[in-house]
Structure 1
């Protein structure tokens, strides 16, 4: 930081650094021309305000920065993270001296900080650079906190297709899938993997990402499922370079308003636009927009549209309302790999928002999942299967029943776990 333009001699700086006035010490701590040994001395100051200035000061010796990594004040560590992460892009491969090694050690420690705000600063600073250590980017991309992982998943040029496919395969929370789907220039293979999740928000984001490469067979698969996912309809209608056959199929199930948008597309062949125009008129006359599985407007389609299937959450709601959402039904869904239904069942039985359930399951925390199953009043036997089959927790990390059938944590521990995820016990 620049501080005053008037030079500060060593004796004056030393005197101010020992002053009882916090303002004097902050002034010295903020100046770029303060001697390194005085800055190091002030890194141990009793005032967090002084240490925050030291953390932000580019002239602070790296040894003092290393000391501030473990500072009890979160703002000190956040300021340090912002400064240190900014320095990484300037480190070249041939500069691996002690100073550079110390800089890397500091940013790696801050990327593991217990405070979300600190990790978020590191992620936001490094999200666009291609000079960060790849293992550090991998760590941030897999952070359980979306505000940390999201920026890296959305922007980092260091994440390869294999990295992204691995993360998608780990069944992350919705927000992570959305961040991946919004990446510029997303490849066809990653787009295919996003589509296969059938995640409503992520596929909508993928369709809205005009730079994403979506293969024709992937688009066909999305259109097969689209009648039961209304949020996909608008981005489908506006998707650039929409194949005529796809446009004809889409016209069979979107709303009258979107049908009119489709009709105005000048990139479609005249016969397709004519068929869409006829459909608009037919709906206007009938006053009853078609829903799902309509004929493709007189243009040959190799297969009929299937009737829209009920969404997993809707099926779970019906079963719950009928008093049939019991362990037997959930076990059957587990056996079939019906992940969406199991998540819906946990949400309804636990009285928890689906987003919170998805976050707990996606976090792969054996304790968090166990607490959720406890709140949903499931047996510990079934809870173990949820850990293994839905949360994908390794067998060695799964929590097992105590004394044959009892939950392994106390009620108070269970409540604490739920509160950690923002739920009431």
Structure 2
């Protein structure tokens, strides 16, 4: 591999300089060719080349770059990335080179037009596409092309590009895509072009931590946004917003319910009520005991727990369990047991097991249960 030594710049494109360039151009030595390439680059950085030399310089660049070693191409790409005098054909050649060489050109070259960038999205590697998505000042035409392709990592890079010309229609499409692409959610939450309407839509798919961020940014009442997620969850499972468990699964024996309540009260009075009782109750298929113990442990009402267990999404139950000290790793198996006793509820729609402390989980559960609609 050759060691790249950059030639010192000259003050002007004088006759002596042009003569030296022609001499180097006639040489068949690889070293002379590399010297020629870097000499021309240095001169161009000092002053734009005369118009009469442009065709010759274009041929020199294209011919020598195609033959140059990787380190020479990399040095050249870094030197001319922001130049407006470089031959467009050379810029496009470097933009299609391996990503380390292409990245500075894709990022900074003013000579890459929208058509060139869209060509990279179609023909180049995924790394090249990500570099396009991160390009400062990306036009709306290229933004739409990125979203049209539907590539998750490229759209995520686009969502993190604060200078891209992402209009409201494009933002709406990205928010819609965030339903299936989790990586989009955090950058969209922080995006300067996210408005209140899109924030409410995005709120449906994000975890509790990002919901809090949205609420703080837009000063929207949590209850209003939670109503949106309840509606979205109900729509996704094709059922009313909140539904009761099948009658065959409901505990209707008042005497047994009262017995379970007395047991919970006794354990709580003795300081022996622990989260472990929840697991035990489910293993013994005692759903009423599970619900009453969960309510007592968290200081929740019976109605809140009843609705949380039968919600179209498992998130309310998850929040209630985390609030009383159930380990996140245990919840998945606990959820399986609950669903066995409720005919499949709570549902799967629109929830994520977001890490949080018990206080935050308790607050989030209470907010979500403030105004549940019962059908």
Match of 1:62 in 2: 21
SS at match of 1:151: helix
State whether residues 140 and 164 of structure 2, in contact with CA within 8 Å, keep that contact through their aligned partners in structure 1: yes
Match of 1:86 in 2: 42
Match of 1:167 in 2: 120
Name which of 65, 70, 94 aligns with 1:140: 94
Name which of 91, 106, 113 aligns with 1:153: 106
State whether residues 168 and 177 of structure 1, in contact with CA within 8 Å, keep that contact through their aligned partners in structure 2: yes
1:121-166, Cα deviation, whole Å (9 max, x unpaired): 22111111111122221222223x1122222111111111122223
Distance in 1, matches of 2:81 and 2:101, equals: 10
SS at match of 1:228: coil
Match of 1:368 in 2: none
Name which of 80, 83, 90 aligns with 1:126: 80
Distance in 2, matches of 1:176 and 1:56, equals: 30
Q: Which structure has the higher relative contact order (CA within 8 Å, separation 6+)?
A: 2
Name which of 75, 95, 100 aligns with 2:51: 95
Match of 1:215 in 2: 167
Cα offset, 1:91, TM superposition: 5.5
Distance in 2, matches of 1:230 and 1:130, equals: 39
Residue pairs, 1:239-250, within 5 angstroms? 239-250=191-202
Change (3 A) 1:92 1:85: closer
1:335-363, Cα deviation, whole Å (9 max, x unpaired): xxxxxxxxxxxxxxxxxxxxxxxxxxxxx
Distance in 2, matches of 1:188 and 1:252, equals: 26
Distance in 2, matches of 1:185 and 1:64, equals: 42
TM-score by length of 1: 0.47
Distance in 2, matches of 1:128 and 1:152, equals: 7
Q: Which runs of 5+ in 1 are unaligned?
A: 1-47, 299-425
Residue pairs, 1:223-262, within 5 angstroms? 223-262=175-214
Distance in 1, matches of 2:171 and 2:193, equals: 11
State whether residues 191 and 212 of structure 1, in contact with CA within 8 Å, keep that contact through their aligned partners in structure 2: yes
Distance in 2, matches of 1:196 and 1:212, equals: 16
| Count of matched residue positions in the alignment of Structure 1 and Structure 2 | 235
Distance in 2, matches of 1:285 and 1:293, equals: 17
- CA RMSD after TM alignment: 3.6
